[in-house]
Structure 1
Amino acid sequence: MNLRTILTTVVVLIVALVGTVWLGRGNGDLEPTTPARPAADPDDDRPKIAAKGPYPKAVVEKPRYNFGEMAVGQSLSHKFILKNEGEVPLEVKKGNTTCKCTLSEMKDNTVAPGKSIEIELTWTPKAPQEHFGQTATIFTNDPENKELKLQIEGTANNLISFSGDMMGTAHWSLPTMESDEPVSYTGSIHTKYMDEFKITGIESDRAGLTATFKPLTPEELKEEDTKTGYSIEVTADPTKFPLGGFTERLTVKTDIPNDLEPTESHADHKHPEGHDHKHEHQPPGDRTFVIQVSGNHTGPIRIVPTFGVYWNPQTMVLNLGEFSAKEGKEVMLSMFVEGTELPLEIVDQQVIPDFLKFELKKDDSFQSKTKQRYELKFAVPPELPAVSFGRTNLAKVKLKTNHPNAKVIEFRVQFISL
């Protein structure tokens, strides 16, 4: 290779190298690379801890407080005392909380050496809890206590308690109504969380179900371990009830506020300025409570099912079970009647659905001076379309009779034909 060729090759290589460098710089200028910003440090917003002492010293003597028992809807508060026992100002900042947390006023969120602030935690339980615990986190610039955990705990119960309480609901059972004489049950409503309250009225949607009330005696209050309450006597008039089981509602109206005002855990507390810490406004309320009253009106009627027939005397429900729609089903029951010498007659009847067949036949062979026996037949005819009558849409047979103490008899029938 001659000298001229070598020089030409070197020049070409140099030009190519310069072009490559220039193109690389140009692309960089068109799309400059932006360095990624570091993610925000969660500690950036906390009080800064000095690199060296002297340091503040955050002290809370009792960081946990137990309210004991309190009522659902009742607000209780407790004030924790946070003291700075260090040599320089203590900086504080409220962190995460599961309850209401309030810090007393301070200058620039700092607590001077030897001084203290109050941190108030307030909790209002919304449902009964065997044990609750609520916390608040306080951040500081004390290197030994960068995070202070304050906790309140306790047990939350229903504000009002009843005798016969089941899962927070009052269920009262009346004696069985076997004649036309009224029957009664006496229960109680009481509370250990209020010094007093008033019942302003008791209402019932069922004619024949009434209630009266009076304050519990000191002996009764002691027996119930409660502060105040009332005994309530519920009376049912059998002449106003159809035969069978029933469940009715009594609505108890009171003067208890719908929202209970917060209560201090320490009495006669004063603000740092010297003002009494009191809630001047109590919202008006007319809180109501519901009592479920159940009973069974058998009257002069007794129903006895034959073998294999499912009959519930409390609800007057006859369960025919599942059967073939093509074959249908028929069952028999015995009915014993007292309280009249005249044969039982059906004055009027209502049957739903209309294809359900019902027959009442007197057993003249039955011998008794006080009772009469009748055969009851319920039948679903064969060759009907498949149908279901369950708990929410029971079939019904309602009879009006000439019996003075059993003017209305209502049977309910449950079945599935396939």
Structure 2
Amino acid sequence: MNFRTVTTVVVLFIALAGTVWLGRTNSELKTVAPVKPATEPDEKRPKIAPNGPYPKAVVPQPIYFFGSMAVGQSMSHKFVIKNEGEVPLEVQKGATTCKCTLSEMQDNLVPPGKYIEVELTWTPKAAQERFGQTATIYTNDPEKKEIKLQIEGAANSLISFTGDYQGSANWALPVMSSTEPVKYTGKIHTKYLDEFKILEIEADHPGLTSTFRPLTKQELKEVDAKTGYAVEVTADPDKFPLGGFNERMLLKTDIPNEPHDHPEGEGHDHKHDADPGTRDFIIQVSGNHTGPIRIVPTFGVRWDPASMHLNLGEFSAEKGKTAVLSMFVEGLDEPLKILDQQIEPGSLKFEIEKDESFDSKNKQRYLLKFIIPEGQPPVSFGRGNLAKVKLSTNHPRAKNIEFKVQFISL
């Protein structure tokens, strides 16, 4: 068979195959269905007539500004949707980020020349410089199928404090350097309530006490408030160890707690109490008790006198580490004595030695040694888990001294 014969056979085979393919019926051919867009009709949307006449939805004021409101306070506004068309306007509630209520209307139909009210309610849960909440209303007006209603405003804490931080008070006392108690007066007030009462103030630390009185008219004017109180906090140095402290006071009021609610459509599996109780507020009180003792670090030692915090850093557990502080003591005729000491952990050792070479008429100098002996197991005492050395002394103005020690042995 020569080349021409082979070519003729191949062409004939292709022609026959094409004839067989073209001879197949449509039922034998596989067809690919066109891909439909992944959209689902919204059943809430009213049907729009293919031909007029049509309704005409008119909203005189689609945005309303509440102004300033308190966290937990509920405010509402009624929007008006008019029908200026020739046939009834059908309205349906769509997506909403707040509580939305339609006024009573049979079948949600607004006759020509009439109107419907839509009430939006918002209760802010946190302070915001500016908030915005919306509700969507669907209609059968072909030129206004969706109506966006919006409420805006600013949410502030119901109660404000001197030294306000995220709704709580942070009050710093003067430095306690003598036996005299120190005092600080802070204010608690509101521009949203006509009145409220402080029921009591509880302190976690026995060295803190407090009294309170109503603010004067002038004081209320200065803080732009309707009502409020001045709270005086007193700290007794005899009941605080040397160094910095940060204690909590709980201020109880007769202000009702707002029962929490849930956005529309969300279910929940718990019951709400009939009486949600009253509001309590936390006051953080900080200070520094220096007393008659001054502690300074030796060269290379990291020491924070305000918090009585010694940082030994990282070191080899095999080699251990020692840090030395100098402590100067005033107001004591006899040598300083350690009556009791508590050290955590047990691997941390503490030594105190009087510097007999220090020459002063009214001061004494002591060397304080903090020792991690060599060969101890590796251990970590960081910011959230500090080692502690607590001392009880014979000094009438420094009965308790507490050191916090941070270190990591590897």
Q: Same fold (TM over 0.5)?
A: yes
Mapped to 1, the partners of 2:341 and 2:39 lie a distance apart of 80
Mapped to 2, the partners of 1:393 and 1:47 lie a distance apart of 63
Q: Does structure 2 retain, via aligned residues, the 8 Å contact 1:300–1:405?
A: yes
Report how many aligned residue pairs link the two structures: 375
Structure 2 counterpart of 1:51: 50
Offset at 1:44?
5.0
Q: Secondary structure at the match of 1:222?
A: helix
1:383 corresponds to which of 359, 375, 380: 375
Structure 2 counterpart of 1:97: 96
1:165 and 2:164 correspond = yes
Structure 2 counterpart of 1:414: 406
Q: Which deviates more, 325-334 or 94-103?
A: 325-334
Offset at 1:361?
1.4
Q: Secondary structure at the match of 1:287?
A: strand
1:291 and 2:290 correspond = no
CA deviation profile, 1:201-256 (whole Å, cap 9, x unmatched) = 11112112011111111111111122221111111111111112111101011111
Q: Does structure 1 retain, via aligned residues, the 8 Å contact 2:328–2:365?
A: yes
Q: Does structure 2 retain, via aligned residues, the 8 Å contact 1:259–1:283?
A: no
CA deviation profile, 1:291-338 (whole Å, cap 9, x unmatched) = 111111111111011121111112111111111222211121111111
Structure 1 counterpart of 2:3: none
Offset at 1:369?
2.5
Structure 1 counterpart of 2:142: 143
Q: Secondary structure at the match of 1:391?
A: coil
- Change in 2 beyond 3 A, CA 1:206/1:45: closer
Mapped to 2, the partners of 1:261 and 1:344 lie a distance apart of 58
Q: Does structure 2 retain, via aligned residues, the 8 Å contact 1:74–1:261?
A: no
Structure 2 counterpart of 1:405: 397
Q: Which deviates more, 406-415 or 354-363?
A: 354-363
CA deviation profile, 1:92-134 (whole Å, cap 9, x unmatched) = 1111111110000011111111111210001111112222111
Structure 2 counterpart of 1:212: 211
Mapped to 1, the partners of 2:50 and 2:295 lie a distance apart of 90
Q: Secondary structure at the match of 1:255?
A: strand
Mapped to 1, the partners of 2:38 and 2:388 lie a distance apart of 71
1:361 and 2:353 correspond = yes
1:184 and 2:183 correspond = yes
- Change in 2 beyond 3 A, CA 1:116/1:317: same
1:201 and 2:200 correspond = yes
- Change in 2 beyond 3 A, CA 1:36/1:326: closer
CA deviation profile, 1:232-287 (whole Å, cap 9, x unmatched) = 1111111111112111101011111111799xxxxxxxxxxxxxxxxxxx956310
Q: What amino acid maps onto 2:324 in structure 1?
A: M
Q: Does structure 2 retain, via aligned residues, the 8 Å contact 1:215–1:230?
A: yes
Q: Does structure 2 retain, via aligned residues, the 8 Å contact 1:75–1:260?
A: no
- Change in 2 beyond 3 A, CA 1:369/1:100: same
Offset at 1:368?
2.3
Structure 2 counterpart of 1:12: none
Q: Secondary structure at the match of 1:256?
A: strand
Q: Does structure 1 retain, via aligned residues, the 8 Å contact 2:189–2:226?
A: yes
CA deviation profile, 1:367-397 (whole Å, cap 9, x unmatched) = 2232211111111111222222112222211
Structure 2 counterpart of 1:346: 338
CA deviation profile, 1:129-177 (whole Å, cap 9, x unmatched) = 2221111111111122111110011111221111112243321111111
Structure 2 counterpart of 1:71: 70
Mapped to 1, the partners of 2:281 and 2:306 lie a distance apart of 26
Q: Does structure 2 retain, via aligned residues, the 8 Å contact 1:172–1:187?
A: yes
Gaps of 5+ in 2: 1-23, 29-33, 262-273
The equivalences for 1:304-323 within 5 A come to: 304-323=296-315
Structure 2 counterpart of 1:223: 222
CA deviation profile, 1:165-207 (whole Å, cap 9, x unmatched) = 2243321111111122111111111112212111111111211
Mapped to 1, the partners of 2:142 and 2:48 lie a distance apart of 6
Mapped to 1, the partners of 2:97 and 2:327 lie a distance apart of 63
Q: Does structure 1 retain, via aligned residues, the 8 Å contact 2:159–2:167?
A: no
Mapped to 2, the partners of 1:150 and 1:340 lie a distance apart of 75
Mapped to 2, the partners of 1:219 and 1:260 lie a distance apart of 34
Structure 1 counterpart of 2:17: none
Q: Secondary structure at the match of 2:222?
A: helix
Q: Alignment identity in percent? A: 70
- Change in 2 beyond 3 A, CA 1:45/1:381: closer
- Change in 2 beyond 3 A, CA 1:44/1:233: closer
Structure 2 counterpart of 1:337: 329
Q: What amino acid maps onto 2:400 in structure 1?
A: V
The TM-score normalised by the length of structure 1 is: 0.84
Mapped to 2, the partners of 1:204 and 1:194 lie a distance apart of 26
Q: What amino acid maps onto 1:360 in structure 2?
A: I
The TM-score normalised by the length of structure 2 is: 0.85
Q: Which deviates more, 354-363 or 186-195?
A: 354-363
Q: Secondary structure at the match of 2:357?
A: coil
Q: Which deviates more, 115-124 or 47-56?
A: 47-56
Q: What amino acid maps onto 2:308 in structure 1?
A: M
Q: Secondary structure at the match of 1:221?
A: helix
Mapped to 2, the partners of 1:147 and 1:37 lie a distance apart of 25
Q: What amino acid maps onto 2:234 in structure 1?
A: T
Structure 1 counterpart of 2:113: 114
Q: Secondary structure at the match of 2:176?
A: coil
